[in-house]
Amino acid sequence: MLRYVILRCLASIPTMFLVAVTVFVLMRLVPGDPATLMVGDVTQVERIERLREEMGLNDPLLVQFIAWMGALLQGDFGTSFINGAPVLPTLLDRFAVTAQVVAISVLLAAVIAVPLGMIAAWRQNRSVDNVIVTTSIAAMSVPSFWIGLMLILVFGIELGWLPSVGYVSLTDDLTRGIMYLIMPVAALVMAELGTILRMSRAATIEVMRLDYITHARAKGLSEADVLRRHAFPNAFAPTLTIIGLTLGALLGGAAVIETVFTLPGLGRHLIDAISSRDYPVVQGVMLLVALSYILVNLITDLLYPLFDPRVRL
Amino acid sequence: MKKLISASTIALICSAGAAVADPEFGGIAKVAMKSDILGTQPGVDRDGITDTLLHHIMEGLVSYDADVNVQPLLAESWEISEDGTTYTFTLRDDVMFHNGEPMTSAEVVWSWDRWLDLETGWACTDWYDGTEDLEILSVTAPDESTVVFELNVANSLFLAQIANIQCLTAIVHPDSVDAEGNWVEPIGTGPYMLSEWNQGVSVTIERFDDYTPASGPASAYAGERIAYLDAVEFIVVPETATALAGLQSGDLDLVDQIQPNDRNELNPDLVTIHEAPSLEWNVLLMRVDNELMSDINMRRAVALAIDFAVLAQTASSGIVGYNPSTIPEGSVYHTAVQAEGYERDLEEVARLLEAAGYDGTPLQIQTNRRFNNMYQNAVIIQAMLAEAGINSELDVLEWAAHLDNYFNGQFQLSAFGYSARTDPALNYRSVLGEDHPAFQWYNTDAIAMVNEAAVIGDPERRQALFDEVHRMMIEEVPTLNLYNAFTIDVTSNRLQGYQVWPAAKPYLWNVWIEE
Amino acid sequence: MKTAILQMRDVTIAFGGREWPTDVVTSASLSVGAGEFHAIVGESGSGKTMLARAALGLLPPGGRVRAGSITFDGTELVGLGSRSIRALRGKKMGMVFQDPLTSLNPSMRIGAQMCEATMLHEKLSVKDAQDRAIDMLARVGIPHGARALGCYPHEFSGGMRQRIMIASTLLLKPQLLIADEPTTALDAIVQADIMDLIRDVTRDLGTAVLMISHDLGLVADRADRVSVMDAGVIVEAGPVDDILIEPRHAKTKALLAALPQGEVKPPQSAQVAPLLHVTGAHVSFAGRKPWPWAKAPHTHALRDVDITLCPGETLAIVGASGSGKTTLGRAIAGLQDLTSGRIQFGDADITHPLASRRRELAREIQIVFQDPMGSLDPRVRVGDSVAEGLRHTKTLSRADRRKKALTTLTACGLDEDFAARFPHQLSGGQRQRVGIARALIMQPKIIVLDEPVSALDVTVQAQVLDLLERLQRDHDLSYIFISHDLGVVESIANRVMVMEDGIVVEEGHAAEVFRAPQHPFTCRLLSILPELKPQGRGYRLVRRQTHLDPATRREESPCPQPTTA
């Protein structure tokens, strides 16, 4: 187990390096110049030149890359072009917000979707199944942007129960923080529910066909016991992978929800940084996203043997 | 009774229910901002949103009124020497910094030294260090209430530059920086003080109780500015739809710069809409060094193919009309001459196209979706060109790429826009110049005339120069002015006294809350 | 006759809606006496599994008992509520399934799975339940039961898992054990062991058995009574000896005819050069490295194996799973690299699969796989699957290739209209014919047949073997026939090679190997083969001679060198 963790960590080093190189090169291939963007439509050639010099953009690419990498290895993510603030602290703040919303959402979605998926599979092709599957597909097909606005319309404006703009951190004020989280979490849960539910349903159907389920029934176990003891652990293992992937993907990409619900999250930070060509921030965010993706997948894989003892790490 | 509404304000209050009542002190207003501020050091880590906020906290010697004329703010008055190179400001003696210290000439000199120091990274040093003719030779304080600026040449733009909104020449207390000279927090003289900056979420400013307003009628950034509100919370709301929802649910009191279409989403009983033309202007740029567009016949053909009145009407939902001039409509220099532009004439277009030997090659119009007006202009122009027999294709770029191409002159046609300039000479200097691809029009006569207008103070002479440059521009067709942009701001019904003005900068003084 | 514990009367089982039911079992009646071993024998699709499952109320979704009555120990089961039937399941009636790999829950420890039923039905404490489980494991031949309880199913072999299943089912001492093809997925030797185990343990416990099988030979000398099913109908039933000696129904006769008759093919007599020569074939697989820089542990699948195959000959390679026989077959077919050794095809060295010479000769050696479903693309029509091998043959037009595919299919006993079907529309036997056609269309000299009939019913097995023999004659083919069952190769092999742990332990002409085995393992393989001796109008079941006869040592070199040199 420990050996496995060490190996996986070692294996992630080249991945991270590749991400670093790719992001670095791609950002510089994309047209648009950070200095020009900062100056805007005011034609100030000298100022743009001075800014480029300050940002180190006039150095050869390799020199820029080595400088960035060198600092990175010492834990220095550099400073933002736009506001000169160190990249890392902001990054971590933003990440904490996203992680909080995404983790709660995915956990909640899993807690709802996995049992529902199993019930749907258990009652395959009957009315319960049809209702569950149709509803989940409907929720999946609606863009999360739209779900978000509808929630704001209903709960923010019509009913006035929940605040529609702003954000309060859970650590600052728990109850108010929760009020601000309800709608984004609900929107994310609705958007991600379907994927997990369908996986859980498919995996359960797969498992329910196997002889050990019939055998469990032949032993005289109740249907609830059959589902809980025999179907769940086996159907959950593949679902866990999907949950991990969803979590990983959302950690770097909940920008839409963050924008609609005015959450100061990582996705929005990335979008802002890309549109202002804030290279150090974009690079930092991408590295963090890649790292969190790798970590989430590692944790998923470490959890896997709990549900499927055939998998050895 | 304080005079609250500037006599000459252009703002139109569209909604009923905005009856003016007596202002009351108290309350907190919540304002949406599209993105977080970049920093608190004026003119250094700046963008439009940062400027808006910092103008509540810090002030300069002079400032703009609602007609975009320069008015005194921290200065009581000023004198200009005969040769136009010495400006002597007399400071008000009733101004206090947020830390309770009185403002004297020492802080003014200290502040100016800081902004002009290249180390500071202030955005507009080019204007004052000789890069663009003007150079401040010295800023001195002969006594506690007098500051003297020595310039290398006479320059009529000097006051307009120091009143500039983007590069606020804020007078701040030296305690705003630490011992190493690093910026800590703004200790200004504004009606509000910075209270809390919750990064990525919101910025709160609170009333500065020891603020003494300048004399003179309240007018935008100038005159008697009174903070009635206890505090203003600027909340980051990137998505307009969310902001408008928040406005209607009572979570917000002000959303600025919405699109005309967004007005349809609003419940008129819940909000008040404020509209006004602004100083920004929309253009269709044409590269005169492009092979096809270098032919004046071709450029004229494009100009005569467009129905500008309809374009302005459609794109602004009727808020503004065609402005053929580089000078904004609200400016005192915008006269009947400036209103002379092109008249659509499809027969003439056909003749010009033939003269140009146009073979139907599609013109490439660059645009972007970040700024909806630019995109809309491109679409409408494409349709109008097609009616006139000119083929064109839209090249929709990301804003950064579009801007990059503008700056490097890498386009054939470009639906573009310029942000506000506060003097006609500055407007012209945005398009007119040499030695750099970002300039659209190379005409040494016109450049000379604009340079002269930048130096002299005589309004009549200046008007004559601007009129002549406008005529030349219409003749040469280096670029097409479309219409001035417009501002649509929305407030909750409880926010009273709100005004929009041509600089399109929301301000939260002289407004109050009435439940 | 003993008192009937399970009584089925005129049971009709239907699938589909009430309006348009399809009957899969029609009016079936049978009774199982207490302690009796009752076998239901029939081909796949004959309805035998449905009938057995109906007794437990475990029909697949959509199935129901449409008519008739099933009584268990006096209780009518048809229409009984699910709670009441659950009380019977496990406690009074247990069931063992065909595939031991899927019938144990992979995510639960053996102990938890075995004990949950006793704890549920008898309210035993954990400790008592475990003691009972350990006892029962010992009875089914698993020592160290306490340790086994803490293991997961995947830590056991298929045979062991089936033993655990049986132990688990018998823990509650049910009055009836229903066993649905419990040994079909296992090696021949394990099959026999498990069958014997079921018979012995149930006899000790006094449990009645309802055994479902397609292999009459396997159950004939263990069952008391046999019911033969065909197309949903019980066509013949009675004591097993009566059925064997006097089969009345055609289906029963067909099932009997499919059993090995003890006839062995003569060796090839022609004096010819060998077609294929494998020398010193060695294959080892690298295991997982514990660290990237560590040396990987190796497992050896083949150790210095020599083979010679003569033209027109069938060489059978027989061994248990893991003996290396499949690896050898794959190496010959060019699907597996040799670690060392040499493969010669005629004069050509074809050791390295990717060498150009090897590719030229690729079509000369074809392979047919065990699982006919798994080896056919489910989205490709049969005709296209068969013609696929010809797609690089530039000289043939599309129409030519199609024509050739049709001819080949016909040669393999499939009508031309099969070409348009998809694999799922075919039966197992038909799919295997497609697999053979796919190999045959390349006009190979050698076909490697890897367990080509193991997944098929015995009657279908016989048909496919007949087809293979006919094709061999018509197309001048040489076969390498891989099987775990000596019985299967008896009628087709000229020579037999027995493998164990990657080593050839015995090799010789078929007749000699069957008559005078040289190795204990061969003897075991032979000992489990039933053999039918004609008696009266029917047969008598006999067991083979199994003793070693070292006196009759046989000659090596099965392919005599041409004497005309």
Q: What digits encode the pLDDT tens for the residues A106-151?
A: 999 999 999 999 999 988 888 889 999 898 888 888 888 888 888 8
**For the ranges B165-169, B343-347, B468-472, C528-532, which has the lowest average pLDDT?**
C528-532
Tokens standing for C149?
């309880």
Q: C233 with C26: CB under 8 angstroms?
A: yes
Distance from CA of A200 to the nearest CA of C (A): 16
pLDDT band at B172 (very low <50, low <70, confident <90, very high): very high
Distance between CA atoms of residues B291 and C6, nearest Å = 98
SS (H, E, C) C375-411: CCCCCCCHHHHHHHHHCCCCCCCHHHHHHHHHHHHHH
* B241 part of a folded domain: yes
Closest by alpha carbon to A201, among A131, A269, A108? A131
Distance between CA atoms of residues C158 and C144, nearest Å = 18
Residues B235 and B337 in one domain: no
Chain A, residues 94-113, CB within 8 A of chain B, namely 94, 97
* B261 part of a folded domain: no
Distance between CA atoms of residues B508 and B259, nearest Å = 21
Distance between CA atoms of residues C200 and C180, nearest Å = 17
Tens digits of residue pLDDT in C300-318: 889 999 998 988 889 999 9
Establish if A214 touches chain B: CB-CB under 8 angstroms: no
Task: Label residues B383-408 b or e (16+ Cβ within 10 Å = b).
Answer: ebbeebebebebbebbbbbbbbbbbe
Substitution target in B33, B49, B201, B431 with the highest count of A β-carbons within 10 Å is B201
Establish if A8 touches chain C: CB-CB under 8 angstroms: no
Establish if A86 touches chain B: CB-CB under 8 angstroms: no
Asked whether residue A83 carries a pLDDT value surpassing 90, the answer given is no
Work out the average pLDDT over B179-184. 92
Residue B326, phi then psi, degrees to nearest 5: -75, -20
pLDDT at residue C275, as a whole number: 86
| pTM for the structure as a whole | 0.78
Q: What percentage of residues in chain B have a pLDDT greater than 90?
A: 66
Neighbours of A134 (CB within 10 A): 10
Chain A, residues 169-208, CB within 8 A of chain B, namely none
Establish if B239 touches chain A: CB-CB under 8 angstroms: yes
Work out the average pLDDT over B176-196. 94
Q: What value, to the nearest 5°, has the Cα angle with vertex C460 and ends C457 and C463?
A: 155
Residues B287 and B231 in one domain: no
Distance between CA atoms of residues A267 and A274, nearest Å = 11
Distance between CA atoms of residues A40 and B400, nearest Å = 10
**For the ranges A139-148, B141-150, B314-323, which has the lowest average pLDDT?**
A139-148
pLDDT at residue C222, as a whole number: 86
Establish if A277 touches chain B: CB-CB under 8 angstroms: yes
**Can you give the CATH number for the domain in which B248 is found?**
3.40.190.10
Residues B364 and B472 in one domain: yes
Contact between chains at C120 and A216 (C-beta distance less than 8 A): no
Distance from CA of C197 to the nearest CA of A (A): 20
Contact between chains at B125 and A260 (C-beta distance less than 8 A): no
Distance between CA atoms of residues B390 and B387, nearest Å = 7
Asked whether residue B147 carries a pLDDT value surpassing 90, the answer given is yes
Distance between CA atoms of residues C351 and B370, nearest Å = 65
Residues B287 and B428 in one domain: yes
pLDDT at residue A313, as a whole number: 67
Work out the average pLDDT over A225-251. 88
Place of tokens 């507009």: B124
Please tell me which chains touch C, using 3 or more CB pairs under 8 Å as the contact test. A
Q: Both ends of chain A: CA-CA distance in Å?
A: 6
Closest by alpha carbon to A194, among A136, A245, A120? A136
Establish if A159 touches chain B: CB-CB under 8 angstroms: no
Distance between CA atoms of residues B395 and B8, nearest Å = 41
Contact between chains at A215 and C56 (C-beta distance less than 8 A): no
Q: Both ends of chain C: CA-CA distance in Å?
A: 72
Tens digits of residue pLDDT in C358-417: 667 778 889 998 876 777 888 888 888 888 888 777 778 888 888 999 999 999 988 888
Over chain A, what is the mean pLDDT? 88
Place of tokens 């992630």: A12
DSSP letter for each residue of B454-502: HH---HHHHHHHHHHHHHHHHHH-SEEEEEEEEEEEEEETTEES----T
Most confident of the ranges B291-295, C12-16, C420-424, C510-514: B291-295
Tokens standing for B64?
């703009």
pLDDT at residue B14, as a whole number: 39
How many domains is chain B partitioned into structurally?
2
Establish if A234 touches chain C: CB-CB under 8 angstroms: yes
Please tell me which chains touch A, using 3 or more CB pairs under 8 Å as the contact test. B, C
Residues B198 and B294 in one domain: no
Report which secondary-structure segment, H or E, holds C209: strand C208-213
ipTM of the prediction:
0.80
Asked whether residue B252 carries a pLDDT value surpassing 90, the answer given is yes
Nearest to A43 among B125, B419, B438 (CB): B438
Establish if A134 touches chain C: CB-CB under 8 angstroms: no
Nearest to C102 among A211, A216, A233 (CB): A211
* B405 part of a folded domain: yes
Distance between CA atoms of residues A187 and A144, nearest Å = 6
Give chain C positions within 8 Å (CB) of A214.
Answer: 58, 95, 97, 103
Asked whether residue B9 carries a pLDDT value surpassing 50, the answer given is no
pLDDT band at B72 (very low <50, low <70, confident <90, very high): very high
Contact between chains at C152 and A307 (C-beta distance less than 8 A): no
Asked whether residue B71 carries a pLDDT value surpassing 90, the answer given is yes
Residues B341 and B474 in one domain: yes
pLDDT at residue C271, as a whole number: 62
pLDDT at residue A113, as a whole number: 92
* B2 part of a folded domain: no
Residues B146 and B188 in one domain: yes
Work out the average pLDDT over B394-418. 92
Tokens standing for A272?
């802002």
Distance from CA of A123 to the nearest CA of C (A): 10
pLDDT at residue A302, as a whole number: 87
Asked whether residue B110 carries a pLDDT value surpassing 90, the answer given is yes
Task: Label residues B460-472 b or e (16+ Cβ within 10 Å = b).
Answer: eebbebbbebbeb
DSSP letter for each residue of C420-476: GS-GGGS-HHHHHHHHHHHHHTT--SEEEEESTTTTS-HHHHHHHHHHHHHHHHHHT
Contact between chains at B398 and A93 (C-beta distance less than 8 A): no
Over chain C, what is the mean pLDDT? 84
Contact between chains at B236 and A42 (C-beta distance less than 8 A): no
Work out the average pLDDT over B169-195. 94
pLDDT band at A253 (very low <50, low <70, confident <90, very high): low
Report which secondary-structure segment, H or E, holds B233: strand B231-236
pLDDT at residue B143, as a whole number: 94
pLDDT at residue B239, as a whole number: 87
Asked whether residue C107 carries a pLDDT value surpassing 60, the answer given is yes
Nearest to A309 among C89, C97, C106 (CB): C106
* B11 part of a folded domain: no
Report which secondary-structure segment, H or E, holds C29: strand C22-33
Distance from CA of B450 to the nearest CA of A (A): 16
Q: What percentage of residues in chain C have a pLDDT greater than 90?
A: 16
Residues B34 and B166 in one domain: yes
Most confident of the ranges B135-144, B400-409, C357-366: B135-144
CA B430 to chain centre: 13
pLDDT at residue B307, as a whole number: 95
Are there at least 3 beta-carbon pairs closer than 8 Å between B and C? Answer: no
Angle, helix C250-257 to helix C458-475, in steps of 10 degrees? 60
Neighbours of B152 (CB within 10 A): 12
Tokens standing for B51?
């400027």
Tokens standing for C247?
């089969």
Work out the average pLDDT over C35-47. 88
Establish if A307 touches chain C: CB-CB under 8 angstroms: yes
Nearest to C154 among A3, A211, A310 (CB): A310
Distance between CA atoms of residues B152 and C129, nearest Å = 103
Establish if B245 touches chain A: CB-CB under 8 angstroms: yes
Nearest to C290 among A3, A308, A309 (CB): A3
- Enclosing domain of residue B148: 23-253+494-513
Distance between CA atoms of residues A312 and A1, nearest Å = 9
Tens digits of residue pLDDT in C128-158: 889 989 988 888 888 888 888 888 888 888 8
Report which secondary-structure segment, H or E, holds C161: helix C158-170
Q: Quote the DSSP letter at residue B207.
A: E
DSSP letter for each residue of C489-508: HTTT-SEEEEEETTEEEEEE
Contact between chains at A264 and B236 (C-beta distance less than 8 A): yes
Chain B, residues 120-179, CB within 8 A of chain A, namely 121, 123, 125-126, 131, 166
pLDDT at residue C358, as a whole number: 62
Establish if A156 touches chain B: CB-CB under 8 angstroms: yes
Asked whether residue C554 carries a pLDDT value surpassing 60, the answer given is no
* B265 part of a folded domain: no
pLDDT at residue C23, as a whole number: 87
Chain B, residues 432-491, CB within 8 A of chain A, namely 433, 436, 438-439
Distance between CA atoms of residues C485 and C481, nearest Å = 11
Residues B159 and B284 in one domain: no
Work out the average pLDDT over B127-150. 91
Distance between CA atoms of residues C305 and B109, nearest Å = 98
Asked whether residue C549 carries a pLDDT value surpassing 80, the answer given is no
**Can you give the CATH number for the domain in which B375 is found?**
3.10.105.10
Tens digits of residue pLDDT in A5-43: 888 888 888 989 999 999 999 988 888 888 888 877 666
Residues B156 and B219 in one domain: yes
pLDDT at residue B380, as a whole number: 96
Tens digits of residue pLDDT in A154-202: 888 888 888 888 888 888 888 888 999 999 999 999 888 988 999 999 9
Residues B331 and B361 in one domain: yes
pLDDT at residue C555, as a whole number: 47
* B59 part of a folded domain: yes
pLDDT at residue C544, as a whole number: 66
* B68 part of a folded domain: yes
DSSP letter for each residue of B305-335: H--HHHHHHHHHTTSS-B--SSS-TTSTT--
Distance from CA of C167 to the nearest CA of A (A): 13
Residues B166 and B42 in one domain: yes
